[in-house]
Amino acid sequence: MNRRRTKAAAAGALLGLTLAGCSLGGVQSIPLPGGADLGGHPYTVRAQFADVLDLVPQAAVRVNDVAVGRVSSIRLADDGWSALVTMKVNGKVRLPANAYAHLEQSSLLGEKYVQLSAPPAGEPARGRLAGGSLIPTSHTNRNPEVEEVFGALSLLLNGGGIQQLKTVSVELNKALTGNEPQVRDMLTQVDTLVGDLDSHKQDITDALDGVNELSATLAARDQKIGTVLTGLSPGLKVLDQQRGSLVTMLRALDTLSGVAVDTVNRSKDDMVADLQALAPTLQRLADSGKDLPDSLQVLLTYPFTDEVLSGVKGDYLNVYLDLTAVPGTQLVPILESKDNSYDSTAQPQDGTPRSKKPKQQKQPRNQGGLPMTLPLPLPSVTTTSGGR
C-alpha cells in the first residue's frame, strides 16, 4: 500500500513538473538547484557578444568568481552579426556603468559562464550599472577554446613551424648581426608609424566612410555612368583612328620645343646684352620721377600752361581751330568806324599839305555778306630773350 502511494506521489510530481514546464516555456526556464541567489529585487543586464560559443541559458553569471546571477536568454542582436545575452543579477551587486563582460570556462572541459568586472585600471569607473543597461561589444570578450588551442598546436607540431624554427633562428641571427642600429631605427620608425596611424584612426575611418558613400552613390547612378561610357565609345574610336596624327603632332611639338630651347640658349647672351643696354634708359626714366607724368598732363591740353614755353623756346606755337556754331546762333558783325576811313578831298585850313590817312583794310565777308570775325586772341605771355 505504501509502495502504491509512493508511486502515485511520484507520478503526480512528474505530471506537475511536466505541466509546469509547459506553462513556463520549457525545461530551460526552470531554476536549477544550487544556482545563484538572485534575492528579492534582481535587475536585468544585457551584453552584446561577437561570439558566445556554446553558452546556454541558465548559465552562471559571476563577479570575482562568485555566482551573482544567471543567463535568462540568448538571441541574435538587431545588427544580425552578434549575440545578445540577457542576464539577471542580484540587486545587491554594484557595478559601474562601463563594466566589462567576459565569456569564460570553469575548467578545461567545464561549463561556460559570464564574468562581470569593473573597467581596467587605466579607465575610470563611471556611474552605476542599472536595470536595462547594455554592455556593448567593445566591452565584451571571450577566452580561447580548447579546440582552438589544440588546433594551433597541431598546426605547429605537424610541419607548421617546429622544423623550421632552427632555420628561422639562424637566418634571423645572420640578418641582424652587425645591423642592430639599423634594426633599432627601423623598429622606432615602425613604432612612430603605428602611433601616427592610431592617432589618425578616426580620419582613416572617416575616409573609409567617404569611400563607402562614394561607392553607394556610384552604385545608385550606374545607369547614368553606363550611358556616359556608351557615349564615350564613338569619341574613343575617333581617337583611335587619329592616333597616328596625334603621335605625329606630339613628335612635332617635341621637335618644336627642342628648337625653342636651342633658340633661347643661343640668344641668351644677346638678350642679356640688350637688357643691360636698356638699363640706363630705364634708370633715367626712374630718375625722372613725377616729372614725366606731370608733363603728360599738359601734352594735349589747351590753352597750354606756362610750362610749355620751356619746351618751345626759339620757335612759334600755332594753333588752328575749326569751330562750329550751334544751330540758331546769331552772328553779330563788327562795327566799322568812319574816322579811320581814307579821305582824299579833305584839305587842312592852314594850307599845309594834306596827309594821307591810311585807308582801313576792307573787312572780309562771308558768302552771306556778313563780316567774318577774327579768331580768338591767344593768351598774353611774356617771352624770354631767346624767343622770336
pLDDT of amino acid 17: 45
How confident is the model over 4-24, as a mean pLDDT?
Answer: 46
Q: Is the domain of 227 the same as that of 248?
A: no
Contacts of 388 (CB under 8 A, 6+ apart): 314, 315, 316
pLDDT in tens, 107-125: 877 889 999 999 988 888 8
More confident residue, 375 or 329: 329
**pLDDT interval class at 314 (50, 70, 90):** low
Residue 294 lies in a domain: yes
Instruction: Please say which residue of 310, 335, 362 terminates a domain.
Output: 310
- In three-state form (DSSP H/G/I as H, E/B as E, the rest C), the secondary structure along the chain is CHHHHHHHHHHHHHHHHHHHHHHHCCHHHCCCCCCCCCCCCCEEEEEEECCCCCCCCCCEEEECCEEEEEEEEEEECCCCCCEEEEEEECCCCCCCCCCEEEEEECCCCCCEEEEEECCCCCCCCCCCCCCCEEECHHHEEECCCHHHHHHHHHHHHCCCCCCCHHHHHHHHHHHHCCCHHHHHHHHHHHHHHHHHHHHCHHHHHHHHHHHHHHHHHHHHCHHHHHHHHHHHHHHHHHHHHCHHHHHHHHHHHHHHHHHHHHHHHHCHHHHHHHHHHHHHHHHHHHHHCCHHHHHHHCCCCCCCCHHHHHHCCCCCCCCCCCCCCCCCCCCCCCCCCHHHCCCCCCCCCCCCCCCCCCCCCCCCECCCCCECCCCCCCCCCCCCCCCC
The rounded distance, in Å, linking the Cα atoms of 280 and 278 is: 6
The rounded distance, in Å, linking the Cα atoms of 8 and 4 is: 6
Q: Is the domain of 258 the same as that of 180?
A: no
Residue 28 lies in a domain: no
With pLDDT > 70 as the criterion, what percentage of the chain qualifies? 68
Q: Is the domain of 83 the same as that of 157?
A: no
Residue 347 lies in a domain: no
Q: Is the domain of 215 the same as that of 287?
A: no
How confident is the model over 379-384, as a mean pLDDT?
Answer: 47
Q: Is the domain of 265 the same as that of 229?
A: no
Assess whether pLDDT exceeds 80 at residue 129. Answer: yes
Q: In angstroms, how far is CA 31 from the centroid of its own chain?
A: 61
Residue 338 lies in a domain: no
pLDDT of amino acid 284: 86
Q: Is the domain of 275 the same as that of 302?
A: yes
Assess whether pLDDT exceeds 50 at residue 188. Answer: yes
How confident is the model over 286-315, as a mean pLDDT?
Answer: 67
Which value, to the nearest 10 degrees, does the dihedral of the CA atoms of residues 8, 12, 15, 20 take? -170
pLDDT of amino acid 28: 55
How confident is the model over 289-315, as a mean pLDDT?
Answer: 65
Cis status of the peptide bond prior to 375, with omega within 30 of 0: no
Closest CA to 140 of 114, 106, 121: 114
Q: Is the domain of 133 the same as that of 157?
A: no
Residue 370 lies in a domain: no
Q: Is the domain of 306 the same as that of 257?
A: yes
Domain count, the chain: 4
Residue with cell 587605466: 122
- Judged by average pLDDT, the poorest of 5-14, 23-32, 285-294 is 5-14
Which cell numbers in the block locate residue 25?
A: 516555456
Residue 306 lies in a domain: yes
More confident residue, 369 or 149: 149
Q: Is the domain of 46 the same as that of 72?
A: yes
Please, what is the average pLDDT of the chain? 77
Q: Is the domain of 174 the same as that of 184?
A: yes
Q: Looking at the whole model, is its pTM more than 0.75? A: no
pLDDT in tens, 15-66: 444 444 444 455 555 655 556 788 888 999 999 999 888 889 989 999 998 9
Residue 362 lies in a domain: no
Q: Do the beta carbons of residue 24 and residue 110 sit within 8 Å?
A: no
Cα–Cα distance list, 381 to 244, 308, 370, 378, 384 (Å)? 79, 11, 32, 9, 10
pLDDT in tens, 204-253: 999 999 999 999 999 899 888 888 888 888 888 888 899 999 999 999 99
Which cell numbers in the block locate residue 208?
A: 573609409
Closest CA to 337 of 316, 359, 322: 359
How confident is the model over 310-320, as a mean pLDDT?
Answer: 61
Closest CA to 361 of 344, 335, 341: 341
pLDDT of amino acid 30: 60
pLDDT of amino acid 36: 74
Instruction: Please say which residue of 108, 143, 178 terminates a domain.
Output: 143
Q: Is the domain of 74 the same as that of 156?
A: no
Residue 15 lies in a domain: no
Assess whether pLDDT exceeds 90 at residue 5. Answer: no
pLDDT of amino acid 80: 86
* 285: containing domain: 242-310
Q: Is the domain of 287 the same as that of 211?
A: no
